[in-house]
Amino acid sequence: MEHSVQQLSRMKTSGAIRQHGSLLNTGPTIRRSQDQTGFSMIELAVVIIIFLIVAAAAVPTVMTSVRMARLRGASSDYAGLLEVARIYAVRDNRYYSTYILAPVGNAQVGFAYVDMLPKVLTGASGNGGTSVATGDPSITISSDIVQRAVGSAPNTANLKSQLLPATTPVTPTDAYATAPAFGPRGLPCTPTTLTGGTICDSSGGPTAFWTFLQNTTNSTWQAVTITPAGRIQKWYYTGSAWIKL
């Protein structure tokens, strides 16, 4: 009897072990099932191809936005520099001109600066636009942003009609040929050399200036203008007309 009980106990234990082992064996099966839910190489390749196609389509748009921002930044900085020239002219009771210098050699930037130093007794200031002197207010301009003559700018008639009244006798002065200047009254002026010195004020009549900037990479245009009253404005060319910024 005791022998039978022991045998029966061993049989139950053996069965439990086999049952427990079968439960343990389900673990690898579950792990294999989870492994099989991952991405295949073909699926990964399709995702990468789609990503590359989207990136290739987006790059031109991004680059256009970057170049546009660079052009707008240059025109905004230049307009601010003109305002600095006007303020200093009033403060110092002199006239100051603002020049744009193209990059030299392989330089990545050019400069625009207020030609203030040296100040001479004749009333003139600066070195005539040859170089930036220490102490002259200045900004840098990326090498792909260039100043253009009015003859190269598009639809200047449209810009002039918005800048000046139709009946005005004033013709804006091209900043490419004559650097914009502000006199002691804070008004734009054209320097005039007289016996004993140089003057630049409103006595020579109302003066206006326009400066044209172009991004050489995508051929977009912006302009910075100065009205006879000294108001500085920025403009963007849409491809058919000039829009004030």
The one-character DSSP state at 149 is -
Supply the mean pLDDT for the chain. 84
Give bridge partners of residue 138 from the DSSP assignment.
113
**Contact call for residues 144 and 214 (beta carbons, < 8 A):** no
The torsion angle over the Cα atoms of residues 143, 149, 155 and 159, rounded to 10 degrees, is 90
Overall average pLDDT of the 178-207 stretch:
86
**Segment holding 129, helix H or strand E:** none
Instruction: Please compute Rg for the chain using Cα positions.
Output: 37
Q: What is the pLDDT of residues 105-127, one digit of tens each?
A: 889 899 999 999 999 887 789 99
Q: What is the pLDDT of residues 142-163, one digit of tens each?
A: 999 999 999 999 999 999 999 9
Bigger pLDDT: 54 vs 115: 115
Residue 199, SS3?
Answer: strand
Question: Residue 67 pLDDT more than 90?
Answer: no
Task: Say what the pLDDT of residue 155 is.
Answer: 98
Bigger pLDDT: 7 vs 226: 226
